[in-house]
Amino acid sequence: MNRIEIIIGGFGGQGVLLIGKILAEAAMYDGKNVVQTRLYGAEARGGATRSDVIISNEEIDYPLVIKADVLIAMSNQAFNQYIDSVKEDGIIIIDEDLVKEEIKSKRKAHILKVPATKLASYELKFPIVANMIMIGVIANFTNIISSNSIIKAIKKNVPRKIEEINLKAFIKGLEIGKSLKNFLIK
């Protein structure tokens, strides 16, 4: 894939902006052109949050997502608000623990249900790393960014004392992504 447009949506406190920052930095480490934008409310936690990332092998001439190849929805609000922004045959990755709405859309996109919050809370015992699980899942599907570059970006952007658990969550996301490739809902 030469160019990929990604929307990450959720609410403040989930690490939505961090997902965008890590994906953007990792793409730069891989020598890609990248644009990352952020949109968030005045609330520190709980308000709507969005991060857009465009990654390309070529020059990026327009810095905003027009039609997303990938949507990561970490809340019902984000799912409902951005689903129609996804291309036909795009990929929608939802945190099935937080997106409870019936998944119906005119859009013919592939939908992946990922139990990111449940895995982060119960298996990894650290709920705030659900975002790193989502990064692992998206990394597996796009193949536009190397895992080594993502690991480098994670290490640069998370506090050292929780670096190891964030990396474990990323690896967990990679594993989930591999296992779900054959189970896309369309």
Domain boundaries, the chain: 3-183
Percent of the chain whose predicted confidence (pLDDT) is above 70: 89
Q: Enter the pTM of the model.
A: 0.91
Q: Is the pLDDT of residue 84 over 60?
A: yes
Q: Mean pLDDT throughout 4-20?
A: 93
Q: What is the mean pLDDT of the chain?
A: 89
Q: By the 8 A CB rule, do 110 and 91 touch?
A: yes
Residue 89 has pLDDT above 90, yes or no: no
Mean pLDDT of 134-161: 93
Handedness of CA 41, 9, 173, 142 (dihedral sign): negative
CATH of 3-183, one of 3.40.920.10, 3.30.230.70, 3.40.1400.10, 3.30.930.10: 3.40.920.10
Question: Does the structure show a pLDDT above 50 at 132?
Answer: yes
